[in-house]
Structure 1
Amino acid sequence: MKLLYVKRVLLIAIILFSAIASKAQSNDELLNLLIKKNLLTQQEADSLRSDLALKEQQKRDKEKENQHNISIGSKALQISGLVQARYQGFQQTGVNNAFDLHRARLDAKGNITDQWSYEVYTEFAATTKLLDAYTAYKFADFLKVQVGQFKVPLTYESLVSDSQLDFIDRSQVVEALAGRSKDVIGNQNGRDIGIQVSGSFAKLNDHYLFDYTFGVFNGAGYDVTTDNNNHKDLAARLAVHPIKGLDFGGSLYEGEDIPLATTKVPNPVTQARNRYGFDARYATGPFSVTAEYLHGTDASVHKDGWYAQAGYFVIPQIQLVAKYDTYDPNKVITTDRSNIYYGGVNFVFNKWTRLAVDYLYKHEETATQVKNNILEAQLQIAF
């Protein structure tokens, strides 16, 4: 009797496993056959049908959930990417209108354990560059240690993800003083190699009151094999969130660096490269407003600039944006300040796809004005 029961259970298991493994569409027929042979009761068959339907639904949900996430063993691997195709129409004579690939990036990150995390972020547009490559350990909300290559905690806008910017381009002062396209150390995409600690503390209702970041960096930029001087740079940022949606921030940077123009000179001399800035942002419902000031000193040259911008979602799919952006590359010279007035609209098709259209009206404080306004359009896919 016991042997007969074992054979019965084994036969049922083999038949059901075969049906599931081959994804057969005749599960009901198999169950009906088992009922006819008195191997299953109607109640047992109904229970099996219910279990199979539940497992199939769970499988579909898991596949949908992991559409852009892959789990490998006990380590989480999340794959994402960013593609931004841009068109620029230049009013200035002698500058050609053109399409370009603004950004094309692939991001791999995940958690080794609940505390250990990592990220490897690569740029493929124009030339291949390693943007981020770091590991971090989170002891608690108030303390996380991060080592490797990543963004320097300087200015609000520089830390905003490229896919989340309200405008196609960052502000002039951020590009010039936060290790980006117009900085004396060259375009470092706001990144460097070093170590930093960060965290949040003083919880107020449903959010933390303070966020802090402090880091020590080479000061030579990203994707390099060695430091170009023996001095180590310091960067710090503190953000305050008095109420939900309202943020105030302050950034400080102290360093010594070799300007890009003198890196090939024999025995180049390092110079001071210091920064400080303040920012504020308020967002509620469809409306947001942001303002930021940044001051920099390169050797003995003082520079500064600021911007103020606002955005409003007319409907969830359409955001109108406006911005005033001013930058002075030398405080001693009175005719080199540049002012840009932005107007734009963002069409949000879904959470992955967005079309941004910006118009930049430029005005330089020079004796002769150059007609150099720009119309930009950018299609973004972020997955």
Structure 2
Amino acid sequence: MNRFFFLGIWMILTATNLFAQEPLADQLKEKLKSEEFNVSILLQANGYYSSSNEDLANGLYSFAYNGYPEFSKFDIGATRLVLSGTVDHHYIYKMQMDFRGRPSILDAQVGYKFADEFKLIAGAFKPFLSIDLDPNPGKTDIIGRARHVRAMMNTREIGLTALGDIANFNYRVGMYNGTGLSRTGTGKFLYTLRVGYTFNFSESSDLKIGFNAAHDQNEFIPIGNTGLTSTGDRNIFGVFTQYDDDRFFGTFEYQLSGFEAVEFQDDGSITGAFGTLGIHVTDKTDVLGRWDYLQLDNTGEPGTDDSSLYILGVNHYPTQLIKLQLNLLYLTEVDNSNRFGMAANMQFQF
């Protein structure tokens, strides 16, 4: 019954045509967006349906682990306010807050732009460890992110990053506490590296390739949100490619994290991969599919735990400030029953 409810809401929303001129949106941009002071707002209203109304939160590969709740419900998604800009003498700043529950700071960074080839930023921000972590929640292809993002890493770190673009190359080199936003220092650090290259085929067509690598020296800290604890010297390596043109778009990423876990008393690894293929049906509507793979391997015990999540999605943009999303979800697990779910998102982003 719930699934038809979600489909009905989706049909009603997408049937509303708001393709006329948008003077109010233009006025907002004129008043609140400039190089020196840029205001951004993101509000999301979500709805979820799960075919298995049971507590899935204890399973590593449940919908809950992927950012979906274990039960059918309504929810609010990202509720963000961002202030950013470039001020005199090439200094840059950004502050981002989330207002779900108690207000919290996600980004607090100050930096200096020496040139396009070299910028330095310090504070709290994303650690450039996954191509699927890069976009803000309002810009993602699906509702949520690839599961390996939260399995392998903290989505925010406190530290220092040097980054820049040199012709078609780009790089990000970082040094962080490795303890997320906790502001806890251990005297050991997380080191990260990303190198990428962009092939520009035309003004509207490009292909990006690159790799991520990281080494975390910290001992006895959580490994993402898997519930596992690293004994230290944990490594992450990954490769990615991303394509976009007027008609088609797609992304692929493979990530591997090797570690020794306190719970295993032996070496273990997490493998994650996802592939997205989509088509711009119109300038207002995208249709896409995603395969999301996640595997936990404890080499001290026989066998592995793995799962695949298949997602069929529709993204619709009735205005330049409103986005509607519908995801159909099918989760397959080793030695467990398969599950079906749905997720819907209606958002305002400015």
Tell me which interval the TM-score lies in, with the shorter structure as reference length: 0.7 to 0.9
- What is the Cα deviation at residue 127 of structure 1? 3.3
The partner residue of 1:178 within 144, 147, 153 is: 153
Kindly provide the amino acid, as one letter, of the partner of residue 380 in structure 1. Answer: Q
User: Which residue of structure 2 lines up, in the alignment, with residue 230 of structure 1?
Assistant: 187
- What is the Cα deviation at residue 331 of structure 1? 5.5
Question: Residues 305, 226 of structure 1: CA spacing in aligned structure 2 closer, same or farther, 3 A cutoff?
Answer: closer
- What is the Cα deviation at residue 150 of structure 1? 0.8
- What is the Cα deviation at residue 81 of structure 1? 1.0
CA distance in 1 between counterparts of 2:120 and 2:147 reads: 31
CA distance in 2 between counterparts of 1:96 and 1:321 reads: 25
User: Which residue of structure 2 lines up, in the alignment, with residue 347 of structure 1?
Assistant: 316
User: Which residue of structure 2 lines up, in the alignment, with residue 298 of structure 1?
Assistant: 259
Kindly provide the amino acid, as one letter, of the partner of residue 217 in structure 1. Answer: Y
CA distance in 2 between counterparts of 1:330 and 1:87 reads: 33
Are 1:102 and 2:77 counterparts? yes
- What is the Cα deviation at residue 377 of structure 1? 0.2
- What is the Cα deviation at residue 311 of structure 1? 1.2
Query: Could you say what secondary structure the match of 2:149 adopts?
Result: helix
User: Which residue of structure 1 lines up, in the alignment, with residue 207 of structure 2?
Assistant: 246
User: Which residue of structure 1 lines up, in the alignment, with residue 282 of structure 2?
Assistant: 315
Q: Contact between 2:44 and 2:345, CA under 8 Å: does it hold in 1?
A: yes
User: Which residue of structure 1 lines up, in the alignment, with residue 180 of structure 2?
Assistant: 221
Q: Give the TM-score of the pair, scaled to structure 1.
A: 0.72
1:191-249 Cα deviation digits (max 9, x unpaired): 10111111111x3xxxxx10001011000101x3331x211110010111133411001
The aligned runs of 1:38-117 (5 Å cut-off) are 65-69=29-33, 76-94=36-54, 95-113=70-88, 115-117=90-92
Higher RCO (CA 8 Å, separation ≥ 6 residues): 2
Q: Contact between 1:82 and 1:104, CA under 8 Å: does it hold in 2?
A: yes
Question: Residues 284, 114 of structure 1: CA spacing in aligned structure 2 closer, same or farther, 3 A cutoff?
Answer: farther
Are 1:334 and 2:303 counterparts? yes
Query: Could you say what secondary structure the match of 1:373 adopts?
Result: strand
Runs of 4+ in structure 1 off by over 6 angstroms are: none
Query: Could you say what secondary structure the match of 1:309 adopts?
Result: strand
Question: Residues 199, 269 of structure 1: CA spacing in aligned structure 2 closer, same or farther, 3 A cutoff?
Answer: closer
1:232-273 Cα deviation digits (max 9, x unpaired): 110010111133411001000100333349xxxxxx984232
- What is the Cα deviation at residue 370 of structure 1? 2.4
Question: Residues 298, 124 of structure 1: CA spacing in aligned structure 2 closer, same or farther, 3 A cutoff?
Answer: farther
Query: Could you say what secondary structure the match of 1:136 adopts?
Result: strand
Q: Contact between 2:213 and 2:237, CA under 8 Å: does it hold in 1?
A: yes
Query: Could you say what secondary structure the match of 1:176 adopts?
Result: helix
Moved more, 344-353 or 331-340: 331-340
1:12-58 Cα deviation digits (max 9, x unpaired): xxxxxxxxxxxxxxxxxxxxxxxxxxxxxxxxxxxxxxxxxxxxxxx
Q: Name the structure with the higher strand share.
A: 2
Q: Contact between 2:230 and 2:259, CA under 8 Å: does it hold in 1?
A: no
Q: Contact between 1:158 and 1:178, CA under 8 Å: does it hold in 2?
A: no
Query: Could you say what secondary structure the match of 2:132 adopts?
Result: helix
Percent of aligned positions that are identical = 24
Unaligned ranges ≥5, structure 1: 1-59, 180-189, 204-208, 262-267
CA distance in 2 between counterparts of 1:314 and 1:325 reads: 23
User: Which residue of structure 1 lines up, in the alignment, with residue 137 of structure 2?
Assistant: 162
Query: Could you say what secondary structure the match of 2:199 adopts?
Result: coil
The partner residue of 2:325 within 356, 376, 379 is: 356
Query: Could you say what secondary structure the match of 2:31 adopts?
Result: coil
- What is the Cα deviation at residue 302 of structure 1? 1.2
